[in-house]
Amino acid sequence: MSTFKDTILKLLTSEPREVIIWLQEKKLLKSKLQCEACANPMTFHKINIIDGYYWRCMKKACENFRKGKSIRTGSVFEKSKVPLRTWIHLMYLWAEGVQLKQACSLASVSKPTGVACFSFFRSVCVTYFQHHPIRLGGPQIVVECDESAFAHKVKYHRGRGPAQTVWVFGLADRSVKPALTYMEVVEKRDANTLLPIIRKVVRPGTIIHSDEWRSYRRIQELGFEHRTVNHSVSFINPTNGVHTQTIESNWNRKKSFIKSMRGCRRDLLTSYLNQFMWFERHSTNSFDALCNQIAMQHKVG
């Protein structure tokens, strides 16, 4: 029985026409194109260029008769020189969580090309959440909150350390496993910064668990039931079982990923946080979800 992976790998060695048809079916390439001069449908022709085919007007009376137009016209690939099958390969590798360095090697592309493509995929995640704001919790559902410092540490006193600590505020919904999270870079950890985020993301009726950081003391004013654990005494409140181990475990996984990259620039951290949240919500269909979102965000018409 052919698997999804087999299908993708086969596509990477297929004839250019099969690659183009697959991208057209995914609505990542135009399936038809009109001539700008005569408005008649252009036809699909084989040619010895990078994509193997191009559009051509075949109306003899047209001033653009036999003139060609790229198969990428109007698509997200229009200004790219990366082969279409390589785009598919990089999309698949990113969706599978393959690290950039290994992905560049497997897809036989330069690091700058890989960086540009992976950056584009993260931008798709950012745009997705702009149109699908995250909401967590609900009546009697527990949501944990916590803040954590993200910084690339200098080893053996070599290199330049971060100019300042980068703080990320996070929320974790324990009603699903693995938990769904929300993460946001914050300039401060005061109540005026954190409470509006909680109000924005957490649904009414949610029970919020946190440590006893002073900024959380006004959470009840937002209308939520608030339970705490004193981390200077124990990791789990011995009286009521309150803990924040879910969000803390989340921090460990995310920081491990950042560490494997040898750090992350501050201006890129938000896009990586969006990538993390994307994978939490598309863990079983990340490749299809990526294709669908690119098609929706960059419509080819």
Token reading at 209: 């668990």
- Domain 142-284 sits in CATH at 3.30.420.10
Note whether 7 and 16 are within 8 A (CB).
no
- The domain ranges of the chain are 4-109, 142-284
Q: What is the pLDDT of residues 114-148, one digit of tens each?
A: 999 999 999 999 999 999 999 999 999 999 999 99
Q: What is the pLDDT of residues 52-111, one digit of tens each?
A: 999 999 998 999 888 889 999 999 999 999 999 999 999 999 999 999 999 999 999 999
- CB-based contacts of 131, cutoff 8 Å, min separation 6: none
Strand partners, 150: 166
The one-letter amino acid at 215: S
- CB-based contacts of 159, cutoff 8 Å, min separation 6: none
Closest to 258 (Cα-Cα) out of 281, 244, 275, 283: 275
CA 253/CA 282 separation, integer angstroms: 17
Model confidence band, residue 248 (pLDDT cutoffs 50, 70, 90) = very high
Q: How far is CA 171 from CA 21, 183, 191, 258, in A?
A: 42, 7, 15, 19
